[in-house]
Each structure stands twice: as C-alpha cells, then as structure tokens.
Chains A and B, each alone.
Chain A
Amino acid sequence: MAVLEVNPTRMELTRLKDRLKTATRGHKLLKDKQDELMRRFIELIKENKRLREEVEKELKEAFEAFLLASAVMSPEILEEAVAFPKESISVDIKKKNVMSVRVPVMNFIRSLENDEGSIYPYGFAQTSPELDEAISKLYGIMPKLLELAEVEKACQLMADEIEKTRRRVNALEYRTIPELEETIRFIRMKLDENERSTIVRLMKVKDIINKES
C-alpha cells in the first residue's frame, strides 16, 4: 500500500492520527448503516417479488376477460362505455426516511362520484357481462398494483443507496484506512531514525572532544 506524500514531522503525525480516528469511526458507522439497509432491503425485496408475481398473474386474467369483452362488443361502444369513469384515483405521496434513504409512502384516495354502489361507469343496456367481469377483476387488482408501486420504488431507491454505501465502506476499509496506518508507521520510523542519528552524532562529538582534551 502506498504511503501518502507527507513530511515526516511530529505535527503531520498528529494530524494523520486524527484523520485515522475519524476514518475508523466513519467506517464503523457506514458499515452499520449498510447492514441495517441490507436487512430491510431483503425483507422488502421478498415482498416485492411476491407482489409482482401475484399482480402479473391476476392482470393476465383481467386482460383475458377484457379481451373477451372486446371480442363480443363493438369497439365504439366499448370505448364509449369506459370513457367517463365514475371513480377517480389519486395518490398522496409522503416521504419516509429509512436509514437516510428517502422512500415514498403512498396513500391512495379513491373517490366515487355521487352515489356509491356500482363501480361500472356505464349502463348495462349496451354492454356485455364480459366487460363487467373484466372491470371488476381489474378493480380488485388495483390495491395490489398500487402496493406494488410503493414497494418496488422503495426497493429501487434502497438498492441504489446500498450500492453507494458499499462503495464508501470499501473505499474506507481497503484504501483510506490502510494508507493512513502505513503513513503513520512511516513517520514514526522516520522520527525514530532521526532520534537515533542525533544520539549517534552526539556520542561521536563527545568522543572527539574527549580525545582532544
């Protein structure tokens, strides 16, 4: 490991020691953060996978039903039937802080216009029951779909953060800290060497003085 380019002085030694202390502390904190993030991430990603599998399966069923509906109905009537939804969905997004990762918390607000009851935005006269079934299936999937959105987004953001944290931990662990330790040792040895050479010089000088007198 390379030694940093510094002057081997006592002042530099103190400075480096301080830096090493900070780096070690930072490393420990980041490592803890990484561990905790990882634990949560693994919980969340399992949930994500399960949700996605379910959603994909159910969506497929809903699409099949809708396909059937569009087969028995004329496209114009179909389009007209769904053109004016009774319900409106909006989402209220708050931000939650999980180990310094900002993840969204989504609350869904579904509001039915005027009377509740039927979720179907059309009269039953011109439409087929297949369409009813498709819509009701899709309606049932919606909460799960929205949950999936929340979880998947959180997973994405956390994966990014974990990667970033891991890089920092590794940089500290394998580069900064060893470098600092190496340099501190280098300065210590240099200072010791200087001290020894001073002593030797003094002894020599003393010898010379003794011989002359």
Chain B
Amino acid sequence: MSYMYKIGVIGDKDSVLAFKALGVDVFTVSDRDSARRALDSAARDKYGIIFITEQIASLIPDTVSRYDKEIVPAVILIPSNQGTLNIGMDRINENVEKAVGSNIL
C-alpha cells in the first residue's frame, strides 16, 4: 500500500517562491477563492503533503480542517515571510485538548 506522492506548497508569492528551487511544486495564491481551489485540486491531484502558509490557511479554515481526518494529504501550516500567526501551534494545542481533555503542555 504505497504510492509516490508529490509535495506542494501553497502561499503568497514572496513566501513560497524559494521552495521552488528545492523541487517542491508551488502554487501561488492571493485570495480566498483561489486558495480554496488550489488546496482542493492539490488534494485531488495526489499530493501527499501540502504546506500552506498560515496567512492563507486563516482565510480558509473549513477547507483545511476538512483534510484533518484523512491520512492523505497531510495539510501542514507553515509561517509565511511575515512571521507566524501561531495557528500551527494552536492546532497542536487543540489536538491535545481534544485528546486529553485539558491542555497539559
């Protein structure tokens, strides 16, 4: 049960352009609709890991959380070049609260 998946990055152009040099597929988006479309089509398109900048993810929380229960793809938030919004950390804490019942970290 294995399959070669691709890796993608979604974010604003300034943040994600650098990833292109590493052989990661880059989708530059600027608004909510294009972000949602990019994420959905990437998920359909056999991307195993999709990195998405927190700025963009904060626009489309529903779409991001839709992939939480699936094994593939893993949607991972990364800070953008404007710094972190702490959404990624919040999501970890959310997981802890959901599992343990209170935040123990």
Using CB atoms and an 8 Å cutoff, list the residues of chain A in contact with chain B: 38, 41-42, 45-46, 48-49, 52, 55-56, 59-60, 62-64, 66-67, 70, 78-79, 81-83, 85-95, 102-104, 106, 109-110, 120-122, 134-135, 138-139, 142, 145-146, 148-150, 152-153, 155-160, 162-163, 166
Whether B71 pairs with A49 at a CB distance below 8 angstroms is no
B59 CB-CB contact with A under 8 Å: no
Bound complex: CA of A67 vs CA of B16, how far in Å?
11
Instruction: Give chain B's interface residue range (CB within 8 Å of chain A).
Output: 35 or more
Q: In the complex, are the beta carbons of A59 and B78 less than 8 A apart?
A: yes
Choice from B20, B22, B24, B74 contacting A152 with Cβ under 8 Å = B74
A82, A87, A91, A92: residue with the most chain B Cβ atoms closer than 10 Å: A91
Pair A159/B48 contact, Cβ less than 8 Å = no
Residue in A38, A88, A148 whose beta carbon sits within 8 Å of that of B23 in the complex: A88
Known: A45-B96, A159-B95. A78 touches B22 (CB 8 A): no
Closest 4 CB pairs of A and B: A153-B74, A159-B95, A63-B81, A82-B21
A66 and B81 form a contact (CB under 8 A): yes
Q: Which residues of B have CB within 8 Å of A122?
A: 21
Instruction: Scan B1-17; emit 1 where CB is below 8 A from any A CB, else 0.
Output: 11111110000001101
Identify the interface centre among A55, A78, A93, A155: most chain B CB within 10 Å of its CB. A93
A87 near B48 with CB under 8 A, answer: no
Residues of B within 8 A of A78 (CB): 17
Among A52, A83, A153, A157, the residue within 8 A (CB) of B88 is: A52
Q: What 6 new A-B contacts, CB under 8 Å, besides A82-B21, A155-B95? A: A49-B92, A82-B18, A89-B7, A91-B6, A148-B76, A150-B74
List, in ascending order, chain B residues with CB within 8 A of A153's CB.
71, 74, 76
- Which A residues touch B4, using CB under 8 A? 90-92, 109
Bits for B61-85, please: 1 = Cβ < 8 Å to A, else 0: 0000000110110101011110110
Nearest to A108 among chain B residues (CB) is B7
A103 to B15, CA, bound (A): 30
Chain A residues with CB below 8 A from B69, complex form: 156-157, 160
Known interface pairs A56-B79, A155-B95, A162-B99; A66-B71 also in contact (CB < 8 Å): no
